[in-house]
Amino acid sequence: MTQTVNSPHFKENARKALDDVFLQQALARSEKGFIERRKAAVEKLPEYDALRDSARDLKDHILAHLDLYLEVYEKNVIASGGHVHWATTAEEANEIILGICQRLNAKTVAKGKSMISEETGLNAYLKKHGIRPIETDLGEYIIQLRGETPSHLIAPALHVTKEQIEADFRRAHTGLPPERNLDEPTSLLAEARAMLREKFLAADVGITGANFLIAETGSSVIVTNEGNGDLTQTLAKAHIVISSIEKVVPTREDAATFLRLLARTASGLDLSVYTTFSTGARRAGDPDGPLEYHVVLLDNGRSNMLGGKFQDMLRCIRCGACMNHCPVFHAVGGHAYGWVYPGPMGAVLTPSLVGVEKGGQLPNASTFCGRCEEVCPVRIPLPKLMRNWREREFELHLQPAAARYGLGLWAAFARRPAIYRATTSLAMKFLRLFGGKGRFRALPLAGGWTRHRDFPAPQGETFQSLWRKRSQKR
């Protein structure tokens, strides 16, 4: 695992995020837009829910036949003049890509957005070996200048304000006259466009991710709104696709099913502006296009998820809707999650890929409000999968002793109804003695509650004892 896993520190990360004024501004600004755009797009398509069901079933079918679809895919990539490379680990994927770049004497590499390359820490690896990776998605470019990682699947610079972007551009783009006005998002976009256009034309190799791989034709599919992924792959000598193995779909028709869901759910568009199906390298007579086409297929723990309690997570198409609708994500943003994947999907996937010992905080940091499952285009039961992780943690005794002890004590009473009724009746009377104001501003053992909230005092007697009294009177 090449990117550092900071997930065990979720609580501290969250505290920092809550105190970060810029981040809180950025989060407050983005929250509504995603939700409203998705809602409008979904309401315009009466078939949306039926599409979700069929996409879920289709993914389940694919996962049950994953080995065979990968075989067909590989065969068709080769038949169309491409090369397929297999990597079990992140390190291996990085080595393969470096090998291709070195063979082509590449100095700079243009990159389209790829979460898998975040998973492998590709940029740092290439840099270490003297190759300069340039992120071309505007959001990715911004965070690369800032030395950060993406905080959201489809909006990597969600956490950055436009004033911060202006400062970053002025720092990095040293030929930029100080009097140039960059107050407006449009002028920032124009500056980035001009800057990156040069980089595209100069890059030796273009690396993109893949939203889908089509077995039928050996094609890789990317979607972008900017067109950066297309310039990345069209202008370079070689196009390298880095993808995880579960992205394969059987046919072009099946890709269409997922594409009908992806952009609508992610950003409220019917389709992303550019949906690009790439199959092999430049053909005879082609005036443009890359001379080589490579696909690096990464497992990195996914094959272990098949057939088990977390297989459903492999249906994910990375739309980001779960985090766009998550109250915890809205409160702390993506970086608090401490690894590549944030939000509810990250809370399930991170422990699957880095281990529950390191990722176990994340599935606990959920209110189980269920909004993520409600909007998931492939109907992943995210709360259930998070609960599965909590069960695994419980079995492995990974939870904090206090929580375990408290819960155990509660359970011991709850399992003995008669003792429970007698004890709680006394306890509530006792507690009531101190709750004269109707609420507690502080309460022993309940600091987590009373730090931010009052605790409403109990009425005094329990319902069960009062009910018994009422029944006896009758």
Partner 1 sequence: MSDKAPAATRKPIRVGLFATCLVDLIRPRIGFASAKLLEDAGCAVEVPLQTCCGQPAFNSGDRKTARELAAQAIEAFEQYDYTVLPSGSCAGQVIVHYPELFEGNAAWEPRAKALAAKTFELTVFLNDVLKVTPSARFDGAVTYHDSCSGLRELGIKAQPRKLLANVEGLNLVEMKDPDVCCGFGGTFCVKYPDVSNKIVEKKTANIAASGAGTLLAGDLGCLMNMAGKLSREGKEIRVRHIAEVLAGMTGEPAIGEPER
Partner 2 sequence: MKSREAIFANIRKSLRTGGEDGKRRETVAARIEKHPRGIIPARGQKADRERLEVFRQTVEDAKASIVILGNKDDVPAAVAAYLRSKNLPQSVRHGEDERLSLIPWAKERTLEVTKGASDGAQLASVSYSFAAVAESGTLVMLSGADNPTTLNFLPDHHLVVVDEKDIAGDYESVWDRIRERLGANKMPRVVNWITGPSRSGDIEQTHLLGAHGPRSLHVLVVRSS
Q: Phi, psi at residue 243, to the nearest 5°?
A: -145, 155
Does 18 sit near partner 1 (CB under 8 A)? yes
Spell out, one character per residue from 84 to 103, where the chain touches partner 2: x when CB under 8 A holds, - when not. Answer: --xxx---x-----------
Q: Which of 295, 328, 362, 382 binds partner 1 (CB under 8 A)?
A: 328
Closer residue to partner 1, CB minimum distance, 318 or 387: 387
Closer residue to partner 2, CB minimum distance, 140 or 393: 140
Does 201 sit near partner 1 (CB under 8 A)? no
Q: How far is the CB of 471 from partner 2 (least distance, A)?
A: 57
CA distance to 64, 152, 163, 307, 327, per residue, from 338 (Å)? 31, 12, 25, 27, 17
Q: What is the DSSP string of 360-392?
A: THHHHS-----HHHHH-TT---HHHHHHHHHHH
Angle at 369 between CA 395 and CA 349, to 5 degrees: 50
Does 8 sit near partner 1 (CB under 8 A)? no
Does 40 sit near partner 2 (CB under 8 A)? no
User: Which residues, 141 to 170, sit near partner 2 by CB under 8 A?
Assistant: 142, 155-158, 161-162, 165
Q: Which of 365, 378, 380, 382 binds partner 1 (CB under 8 A)?
A: 365
Does 54 sit near partner 2 (CB under 8 A)? yes
The closest alpha carbon to 158, from 167, 170, 146, 169, belongs to 146
Count of helices and strands (H, E) across the chain: 24, 12
Does 58 sit near partner 1 (CB under 8 A)? no
What number of other Cβ atoms are within 10 A of residue 463's Cβ?
11
CA distance to 242, 385, 386, per residue, from 309 (Å)? 26, 8, 11
User: Which residues, 76 to 135, sit near partner 1 by CB under 8 A?
Assistant: none
Q: How far apart are CA 263 and CA 337, in angstroms?
A: 24
Only one of the segments 95-103, 141-149, 168-176, 358-366 lies at the binding site for partner 1 (rule: CB under 8 A); that segment is 358-366
Closer residue to partner 1, CB minimum distance, 61 or 392: 392
Spell out, one character per residue from 217 to 256, where the chain touches partner 2: x when CB under 8 A holds, - when not. Answer: x-x-----xxxx-xx--xx---------x----xxxxx-x
Does 70 sit near partner 1 (CB under 8 A)? no
- The DSSP H or E segment spanning 212 is strand 212-214
Which residues 6+ apart lie within 8 Å of 437 measured at CB? 457
Q: How far is the CB of 60 from partner 2 (least distance, A)?
A: 12
Only one of the segments 59-67, 79-87, 292-300, 419-427 lies at the binding site for partner 1 (rule: CB under 8 A); that segment is 419-427
Spell out, one character per residue from 282 to 301, where the chain touches partner 2: x when CB under 8 A holds, - when not. Answer: xx-xxxxx-------x-x--
By CB atoms closer than 10 A (0-12, 13-18, 19+), residue 286 is exposed
Does 39 sit near partner 2 (CB under 8 A)? no
**What's the gap between Cα 230 and its chain centre?**
23
Beta-sheet strand order (sheet of 292-298): 83-87, 292-298, 238-244, 205-208, 108-111, 132-135
Spell out, one character per residue from 371 to 400, where the chain touches partner 2: x when CB under 8 A holds, - when not. Answer: ------------------------------
